[in-house]
Amino acid sequence: MARSTTFTYTVTVNSSKFVIDGNSQQYVVLFPGCTYEFNQDDNTNNGQPLRFSETSDGTHNSGSEYTTGVTTSGTPGSATAFTKIEVSTSTPQRLYYYSSATSNYGGIVDIDYQFLLSHQLVTSQTSAGNRFLNCGGGEAPAELTQVDYINMTTHGNANDFGDLANKKGQGAGSAGTSIKFFVFGGSSPGETNSIEVGPMAGTGTTVDYGDLQSTKQSMSGTGNSTRALSLGGYDAPARSDVIGYFSTTSAGDAADFGNLTVGRSSPTGFSSPTRGVCAGGYANPGGTSNVIDYVTIASTGNATDFGDLGQARYSASSNSASSSTRGIIAGGATAPDGSASNVNTITHITIASTSNDTDFGDLTASRSQASAGSNNLRACFAGGLTPSTSNVIDYITIATTGDAIDFGDLVTARGYVAGASSNHGGLQG
């Protein structure tokens, strides 16, 4: 027997409040892909139409009625009266039900996207294991919402994934698990603090997950299966040394983790299952940085010195190009004039052993502000500035030093891209 995807709530009124299935002003959780009918045929509903809004108490609180996927029938208090909503991936994560006639009747409706994301992983497990997403990009006033993806095992051009809910350019941070990807901070066009989440195995539009501790751009991110880290960034008017973290399993705001050894913007972040590493960046004061530092992901606290880059640079490959043992830093700029000083250098470190970086090879072209992602065999680098915006995707075999090889092209050429992958070093045991 097929599982029903249509559900009915019984609505009554008591003490000037909507009562949902016997509970006054009931908190309601709905699931994407399902339809919900709020039945108002009980005579206590007379004169009180139930409606939805993105604003608490709707039109009584300067909000507007939400009508996408919503149908109504009949007169409240009479037979066949109902308000029906079809919930999709584009339905706002939080709505409110209210009476269009009288204030303070309703309550909260939350859309359970965690269920959706888990479900999509179950139905698309194979493609998620090697996926590399390229999110947003651009700089003011031309930030983008574009999200592309590739399967890192198969050479070829990127495919359209969908869009970010909000524009995120100028170096947003990002992180990925086998189930979800996260994009946070960046410019839209001003600095933002929003964290967005989408299904690693699916397609569509991201949704709100929470907020960083402050608005930032030109940052990096990494993490493992349980924690995502935000690393440094530009928090006007200074370069930030703040490390934030949030749970990858439960939506919510980021919390303070500790501090980098040096405050800087545009660093490179990557991880093993236990360590998060932050390399290079642009410090203020101090200029282009060669600092590498690390944290233990499971334990909050300040970063520890790891070693130095042989060539100080910032805006190198942004996020999570690593295996469980080796971290990769690719490209970047060596001076404050940005694209005029781009390099093609690829270097690597052994994440478990503190040391300076070692030469690996070269990118196919000198560029900065590219994204990065990896699986257990390959690291990919996409887009960036050459100095013009690039659509090129390169790849390397992480275990074998050598020059990068052309993989394919992004859907849209752009720099300042945030990259997230489903099987990077932080997810490999």
Residues of the chain with pLDDT under 70: 1-5, 112-129, 337-340, 429
Q: Which H/E stretch holds residue 270?
A: strand 268-271
Contact call for residues 275 and 306 (beta carbons, < 8 A): no
Q: What is the pLDDT of residue 104?
A: 96
Residue 126: the pLDDT is 35
Nearest CA to 124 out of 422, 396, 376, 325 is that of: 422
Taking only the tens place, the pLDDT of each residue in 233-289 is 998 888 999 999 999 887 889 999 999 999 999 999 999 999 999 999 999 888 999
Q: What tokens appear for 171 in the block?
A: 């170096």
Q: Which phi and psi (to 5°) does residue 73 adopt?
A: -150, 140
Amino acid in the structure at residue 69: G
Alpha carbon distance 177, 222 (integer Å): 10
- CA distances for 19 relative to 52, 56, 59, angstroms: 15, 17, 20
Alpha-carbon distance of 205 to 414, in angstroms, equals 19
Q: What is the pLDDT of residue 128?
A: 60
Full-model pTM = 0.74
Give the pLDDT score at 251. Answer: 80
- pLDDT (tens digit per residue) in 83-142: 999 998 788 888 999 999 999 999 999 886 554 444 443 333 333 668 999 999 998 788
Distance, CA of 310 to CA of 223 (rounded, Å): 25
The verdict on whether omega for the bond into residue 76 sits within 30 degrees of 0, i.e. cis, is: no
325-354 in b/e form (b: 16+ CB < 10 A) is ebbbbbbbbbeeebbebbbbbbbbbebeee
Give the SS3 label for residue 70.
strand
User: Judging by beta carbons within 10 Å of its beta carbon (0-12, 13-18, 19+), is residue 375 exposed, middle or buried?
Assistant: buried
Domains in the chain, please, with CATH?
6-111 (2.60.40), 124-427 (2.120.10.80)
- Cα-based angle 362, 364, 365 (whole degrees, multiple of 5): 95
Given its phi and psi angles, is residue 382 left (phi above 0), alpha (psi -120 to 50 degrees) or beta?
beta
